[in-house]
C-alpha cells in the first residue's frame, strides 16, 4: 500500500494526510552550477506510511542518502518540499526544526555516533534525538529486546560494534519518535550481527508501532522491510512490497544497480 501524500503546493495551508509519516513532493536537490551541476534529486514525490518499515535502495550516487537526509531535515532542498507528519520542513525556522528533530525523529547511522564519555545506561540516553530519557517501561522493553542487559554501565569503547549499534538503535527508539531514519545501519557489522539488528528493527515496527525509513545497499537487509523504494539518477524508479532478497536483486538488475 502506498501512503497518502499531500497534494497542495509546499506553501499551502493544508496538512499532509496523517497516513503518511514523512514524504517528499516534487523534491529536487542540485549541487554546483554550470557544467559541474549535479542533480542529486530530480522532482521526487514519495510518501512513507506510518507504522511501516521502508528501505530505500539504489547504486552509489543515485540520490538515496540525499533523499533520506532531506526527509530528516539534515539537508535542504533546492526546490519542492519534504514533510514529517503534518509539518512541511521548509516552513519551519531553525528553532522549530531542531525541536521537531528532538521530539519526532530518531536517527541511526552506520558510524553509531555515540558519545565516548557516556555509558549505555538508559539515564544517559539524554543524548538521544529526543533529548529525553523516555518512558521507563519503554526503555526496559527496548533494553531487553536488543540484549543490552549487563552492558548498561559500559562506555562505547568497552562495547563491540554490534553492541554499539544496539545502543544506537535503542537510543533512537527510547522516546517513541514518530519516525526513525536509518542510514546504512548494518554497514559496519558482520552478517550475523547485522541480521540481529535488522530483526529488532522489524520487531520495533510490528510490536512497538514504530515507523522506520532505512537506506541500504544490501538486498538481504532490504528484505526485512515491508516495502523497498528504488532510486536511480535522482528519481524513484520502482518499488516492491513484502520483498524477498531475490526479488530485490532482480529489481536492482532491472534498474542497472
Which range (15-19, 69-73, 75-79, 237-241) has the least confidence? 15-19
Please, which pLDDT band fits residue 129 given cuts at 50, 70 and 90?
A: very low
CB contact at 8 A, 29 and 75: yes
Closest CA to 158 of 121, 195, 107, 200: 121
* Distance from C-alpha of 45 to C-alpha of 198, rounded to nearest angstrom: 27
pLDDT one-digit tens code per residue, 167-206:
888 788 777 888 999 998 888 788 888 888 898 889 889 9
Beta strands 179-183; 20-31: pairing state = unpaired
Q: Which three cell numbers stand for residue 209?
A: 508501532
User: Is 3.40.50.300 the CATH number for 50-64+102-254?
Assistant: yes
Please, which pLDDT band fits residue 250 given cuts at 50, 70 and 90?
A: very high
* Distance from C-alpha of 190 to C-alpha of 234, rounded to nearest angstrom: 30
Amino acid at each position: 500500500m502506498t501512503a497518502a501524500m499531500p497534494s497542495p503546493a509546499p506553501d499551502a495551508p493544508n496538512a499532509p494526510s496523517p497516513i503518511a509519516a514523512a514524504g517528499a513532493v516534487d523534491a529536487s536537490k542540485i549541487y554546483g552550477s554550470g557544467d559541474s551541476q549535479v542533480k542529486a534529486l530530480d522532482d521526487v514525490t514519495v510518501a512513507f506510511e506510518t507504522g511501516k518499515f521502508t528501505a530505500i535502495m539504489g547504486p552509489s550516487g543515485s540520490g538515496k542518502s540525499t533523499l533520506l537526509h532531506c526527509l530528516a531535515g539534515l539537508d535542504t532542498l533546492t526546490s519542492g518540499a519534504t514533510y514529517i507528519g503534518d509539518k512541511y520542513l521548509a516552513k519551519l525556522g531553525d528553532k522549530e526544526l531542531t525541536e521537531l528533530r528532538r521530539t519526532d525523529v530518531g536517527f541511526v547511522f552506520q558510524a553509531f555516533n555515540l558519545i565516548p564519555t557516556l555509558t549505555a545506561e538508559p539515564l544517559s540516553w539524554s543524548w538521544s534525538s529526543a533529548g529525553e530519557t523516555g518512558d521507563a517501561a519503554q526503555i526496559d522493553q527496548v533494553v531487553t529486546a536488543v540484549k543490552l542487559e549487563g552492558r548498561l554501565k559500559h562506555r562505547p569503547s568497552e562495547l563491540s560494534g554490534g553492541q554499539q549499534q544496539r545502543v544506537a538503535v535503542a537510543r533512537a527508539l527510547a522516546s517513541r519518535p514518530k519516525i526513525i531514519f536509518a542510514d546504512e545501519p548494518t554497514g559496519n557489522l558482520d552478517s550475523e550481527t547485522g541480521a540481529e539488528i535488522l530483526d529488532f528493527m522489524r520487531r520495533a515496527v510490528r510490536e512497538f508501532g514504530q515507523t522506520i525509513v532505512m537506506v541500504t545497499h544490501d538486498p538481504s537487509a532490504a528484505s526485512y522491510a515491508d516495502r523497498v523504494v528504488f532510486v536511480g539518477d535522482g528519481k524513484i524508479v520502482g518499488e516492491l512490497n513484502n520483498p524477498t532478497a531475490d526479488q530485490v536483486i532482480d529489481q536492482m538488475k532491472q534498474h542497472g544497480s
